[in-house]
Structure formats: C-alpha cells, structure tokens
C-alpha cells in the first residue's frame, strides 16, 4: 500500500496552484470546544469569506498520526477568528495542531472528482490485490474484480500483520470457461497453503479515491502534478494564472519523464 493518501494529494496540488493554499506557519494557538469549530485568535477574516473552502488537519500536536490528523472537511462558515466545518472532524482540533486552509474556489466534491479523472488519465498502472485466500485442496480461484490477467502471483508465508514474507509463486496459469468470462487462476497443488493469502500483481486503472485516507498508488509528485494541471484547466487558464499554469505543466512533464511503471515488490511491506 502506498504511504500517500488523498489528503496528501490535495495538499500537494493546492500548493502547486499557489494562491489556493494558506498553510499556517505556526500551530493553531487556540481551539474551539468541538470537532467542528477551529478558533484562532490571530486570524482577521472577513465574515464567511472562506465558505465552501476546505480545512485539512495536517498534524495532530498531542498525538501525531491520530485523528483528526489527515482529515478534510468543508468550511460552512467563518467569523473573524473562527472557522466552522461540516461535517465535523472525528476529534477536536486542539491547541498546537496544524491546519491547511484551501480557499473556496472549488468544493471538496470537485477535488475528489477531478483527482479520479486525473489519476485514471494515466492509463493502466501496476496494482496489487490480496483479496484471495487459499483453501485446503483448492487449486482454482476466480480472479478478483478488475484483475484481467495477473503479471505475477505471490504467496503469503507469514500471517503476522505487517510481516507477510511474500514469496513469488511459479507454475500458475489462468484459464477461461467461456469467451468474455472472468478468468480462473490455477495453482499447482503443492503450492496451496490453507488460510494464507495470494498476492496478485496486475495492470489496471488507478482505484477510485474518495475517503481522505484512500491510497494514491503512483508517486505523489506525478499525482499532484496531474491533479493541479486538471484543476487549473477546470477553472480556465488566463493571463492572470498563465505563469502558474506553465510552471505546473513543466513540473508535470518532468514527473512523467521520471515515472516508469513497475510492478510493486511485495516484501514485508508493499511499497513503491
């Protein structure tokens, strides 16, 4: 699984787009008493100027890596020193937490939709599926949805979480009963180990992302460049943002040139 998520992607793309992102240089000095209100006594906002913008909690001060870190919500209203979000975060934004505010040019739904269009515009990429579990005496397994033809098949040799010790399998093949039907993965009988998972590397479109924690399966620089380019074109390129658009496109072309699709290497952890 990638270490990057939809949250990271939106942050990186907003920064590339310049004026959209207002990244706080210091942690939030004060906080509201709920998960829906952020109070910052240093703000000097116009009433409701941020409505339909976004807030991303980029760091939880007291417990990094825990809620609401990484969560995204839409801005419902603001006063001079408070921002109210809806839906509420799953935990309170506390004193010392760090946030990013994205200005209200695009709604969260627009970011999500455009992220999926941008990611899938790259075409097929190597993906990893671990949804199949081997059963005693069973050598034939229907391929999971989305897997047309495996590139590689791996076998889990350790069921401890985070320590799978994947081993590449040989001697497997696929077969199909009828034209157009889903293929069946056929294993050698001596390779079947009950209760252990199969890992399948295959080519497919980038999975749809929706939740803030959904994984981004390509390098973040390429993904952010794609999203920023699609977003800036969505709003229209004019003389005011031409320089920014040229910079985004140049960085995107550089990222594409460096990107070589390759099969994930399952070890103890699957990483790019």
Q: Is the pLDDT of residue 92 over 90?
A: yes
Same domain, 154 and 90: no
Q: Beta-carbon neighbour count of residue 95 at 10 Å? A: 13
Note the pLDDT of residue 117: 97
> What total number of domains does the chain contain?
2
What percent of the chain stands above pLDDT 90? 72
Strands 72-78, 173-175: pairing kind: unpaired
Q: Is the pLDDT of residue 267 over 70?
A: no
Q: Is the pLDDT of residue 268 over 90?
A: no
pLDDT digits (tens, 9 = 90+) for 190-202: 999 999 999 999 9
In order of 144, 158, 174, 190, 197, the CA distances from 193 in angstroms are 19, 11, 19, 8, 9
Cα 172 from Cα 150, distance rounded (Å) = 10
pLDDT digits (tens, 9 = 90+) for 77-86: 999 999 999 9
Q: Beta-carbon neighbour count of residue 231 at 10 Å? A: 23
Note the pLDDT of residue 265: 62
Confidence band (pLDDT; 50, 70, 90) for 1? very low
pLDDT digits (tens, 9 = 90+) for 178-231: 888 899 999 999 999 999 999 999 999 999 999 999 999 999 999 999 999 999
Identify the domain containing residue 174 by its residue range. Answer: 125-204
Put the strands of the sheet holding 197-204 in their side by side order: 125-133, 197-204, 150-155, 167-168
Same domain, 30 and 113: yes
- Contact, 48 vs 81, CB < 8 A? no
Same domain, 39 and 116: yes
Residue spans of beta strands (DSSP E) within 143-259: 150-155, 167-168, 173-175, 184-186, 197-204
- CA 177 from chain center: how many Å? 36
Cα 226 from Cα 245, distance rounded (Å) = 12
Same domain, 136 and 58: no
Same domain, 115 and 148: no
Note the pLDDT of residue 23: 56
115 burial (CB, 10 Å; 0-12 / 13-18 / 19+) is buried
Work out the average pLDDT over 140-168: 91
Cα 238 from Cα 167, distance rounded (Å) = 53
* Helix, strand, coil percentages in the chain from 3-state DSSP, rounded to 5: 20, 25, 55
Same domain, 94 and 18: yes
In a domain, 88, yes or no: yes
In a domain, 15, yes or no: yes
Work out the average pLDDT over 157-175: 90
Q: Which of 204, 223, 248 is the last residue of a domain?
A: 204
Same domain, 24 and 73: yes
Work out the average pLDDT over 122-148: 95
Same domain, 97 and 15: yes
Give the 3-state secondary structure of residue 245: helix
Per the prediction, the chain carries an average pLDDT of: 90
Q: What pTM value is reported for the model? A: 0.85
């Amino acid at each position: 699984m990638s270490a990057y998520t939809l949250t990271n992607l939106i942050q990186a793309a907003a920064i590339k787009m310049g004026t959209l992102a207002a990244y706080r240089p210091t942690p939030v000095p004060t906080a509201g008493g709920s998960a829906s209100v952020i109070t910052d006594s240093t703000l000097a906002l116009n009433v409701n100027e941020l409505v339909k913008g976004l807030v991303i909690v980029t760091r939880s001060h007291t417990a990094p890596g825990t809620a609401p870190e990484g969560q995204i919500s839409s801005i419902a209203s603001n006063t001079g020193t408070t921002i109210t979000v809806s839906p509420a975060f799953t935990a309170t934004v506390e004193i010392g937490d760090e946030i990013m505010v994205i200005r209200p040019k695009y709604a969260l739904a627009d970011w999500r939709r455009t992220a999926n269009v941008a990611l899938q515009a790259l075409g097929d990429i190597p993906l990893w599926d671990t949804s199949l579990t081997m059963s005693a005496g069973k050598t034939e397994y229907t391929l999971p949805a989305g897997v047309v033809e495996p590139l590689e098949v791996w076998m889990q040799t350790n069921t401890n979480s985070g320590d799978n010790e994947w081993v590449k399998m040989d001697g497997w093949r696929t077969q199909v009963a009828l034209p157009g039907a889903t293929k069946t993965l056929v294993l050698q009988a001596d390779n079947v180990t009950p209760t252990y998972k199969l890992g399948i590397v295959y080519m497919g479109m980038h999975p749809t992302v929706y939740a803030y924690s959904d994984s981004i399966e390509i390098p973040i620089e390429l993904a952010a460049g794609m999203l920023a380019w699609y977003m800036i074109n969505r709003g229209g390129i004019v003389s005011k943002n031409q320089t920014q658009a040229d910079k985004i496109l140049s960085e995107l072309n550089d990222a594409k040139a460096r990107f070589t699709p390759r099969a994930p290497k399952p070890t103890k952890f699957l990483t790019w």
